[in-house]
Amino acid sequence: MLILSVESSCDETAVALVADGRKVLADEIFSQVALHEIYGGVVPEIAARSHLEVITYLADRALDKAGISRRDIDAVACTYAPGLIGAVLVGVNFAKSAALALGVPLIPVHHIRGHIAANYLAFPDLEPPFLCLAISGGNTMLVHVRDYTDMAVLGRTRDDAAGECFDKSARVLGLGYPGGKPIDDLSKQGSDRAYDLPRPAVHGDNPYDMSFSGLKTAVVNLVHHAEQTGEPLDKAGLAASLCRAVSESLVGRTMDAAAALGCERVAVAGGVAANSRIRADFEAACAKAGKRLFVPPLRLCGDNAAMIGAQGYYELLAGHTAGSDLNAYATKAL
């Protein structure tokens, strides 16, 4: 079962070819980071324009790399939600007309389900059930993956995503966009005890819900205060303290949930999973609790289409296909 998959929900245009949900034959990505850098963040209209310009080039290259012809494609999968609506629309409309023309099924895939499925590509023996923390620039949620297409959201951020907290912090520290990598790099030169940052407290009855806006504001205020008073700012220490604060909120809740549900396998997914502090803390916590940890390699953490092809395969097996009236959505429940 060979699936052509398309991802265009934010600032990466991607097309992949994946066999049986597990084997990547081609994984083409065009990153728009250079287009958005000067604006300090993703500009939705610029993102949508760029997706449309490059999408067929990527599809051509995917066929070339895989050494297959269009007629070998058994189904077309695409991210249909959530994301920047103008951006998602490009991939959805390309994918659905390609599926119609090829006479094959069309499979809508939820972007976060795709991130979770990146683990199937990295770890051939991983099967549900497992617990997965999905963390990216736009989403932060703790998911009980009961089966390939049967998932329960245990908790989520009440406000900003963890990645948003890194991006905004990087911006005020003058580290550019996107912020995850420069914060991570800088944090290695500082002490994670340099600043006492708030641990996001969440009120309510769900112990797995998270919050990152208070932490983000604390970093912004610290930087502005230092600028105004002329006090020296330990940027590396602040970056390290921030990574520690984010990691502690994420890792603690995830391990609590794993214990409560009796999950022996813990997975992490999404762009923020590339953060080395979060990876290290999860390794230590899982080793201590005797759980097996799954974290995809860096290339599969960020947005890509291979993960959409992986999840698309299982959605197809479950009969989750769509017609040519498929629409794109900015938000959608997992």
Which residues lie near other proteins (CB under 8 A)? 38-39, 43, 45-46, 48-49, 52-53, 55-57, 59-60, 70, 85-86, 89-103, 323-328
Cβ closer to other proteins: 94 or 282? 94
Closest to 44 measured CA to CA, from 101, 94, 76, 89? 89
Shortest Å distance, C-beta 75 to other proteins: 13
Shortest Å distance, C-beta 283 to other proteins: 40
Shortest Å distance, C-beta 290 to other proteins: 48
DSSP-assigned letter for residue 157? B
Please name the residues in contact with 280: beta carbons below 8 A apart, sequence gap of 6 or more.
none
Rounded to whole angstroms, how far apart are CA atoms 21 and 34?
31
Shortest Å distance, C-beta 31 to other proteins: 18
Shortest Å distance, C-beta 50 to other proteins: 11
Cβ closer to other proteins: 58 or 243? 58
Cβ closer to other proteins: 90 or 194? 90
DSSP-assigned letter for residue 197? P
DSSP-derived 3-state class of residue 254: helix
Cβ closer to other proteins: 38 or 333? 38
Cβ closer to other proteins: 149 or 327? 327
Q: How far is CA 156 from CA 143, 177, 253, 283, in A?
A: 9, 24, 11, 22
Torsion of CA 30, 312, 9, 135, to 10 degrees: -100
